[in-house]
A = this chain, B = another copy of it.
Amino acid sequence: MIELDFKKTGGLLPAIAQDAATGEVLMMAYINQASWEKTLETGEVHYWSRSRQEIWHKGGTSGHVQKVKAIYVDCDRDTVLFKVEQVGGAACHTGMRTCFHQRVEKGRLVMEGEPVFDPQEVYGK
């Protein structure tokens, strides 16, 4: 088991998900020791939900899981990069491919791209 430096930041480390095929940065969320272990064990990304205070199997409800293709650990062992296959084509709860779909343009935020799915259909009401 790879030891990450969970102590420095109170047990939670940032984890970045990047599309393994396109290089697109899809999202950033947090992991704790338990979600790290679960990710290594299952090959699907598990984060820690700060709002729900529980392990968050990304896509567990919608089926839009993130299949781990490669894992990188940064020089300080306190940030993780998951290269993933994003099942369903979209990582964002809004239905957009990436959570980073708002670009800063002359002091304003401009939406980029089109939704891949309708969140109402995938998550229900």
Contact = CB atoms under 8 A, between A and B. Distances in A.
A104 B81 CA distance: 10
Contacts of A94: 75
Interface string A96-107: 100111111001
A27 B74 contact: yes
A108 B75 contact: no
Contacts of A109: 2, 73
A69 B40 CA distance: 34
A86 to B, nearest CB: 15
Contacts of A79: 28, 99-100
Contact of A72 (B70, B75, B101, B108): B101
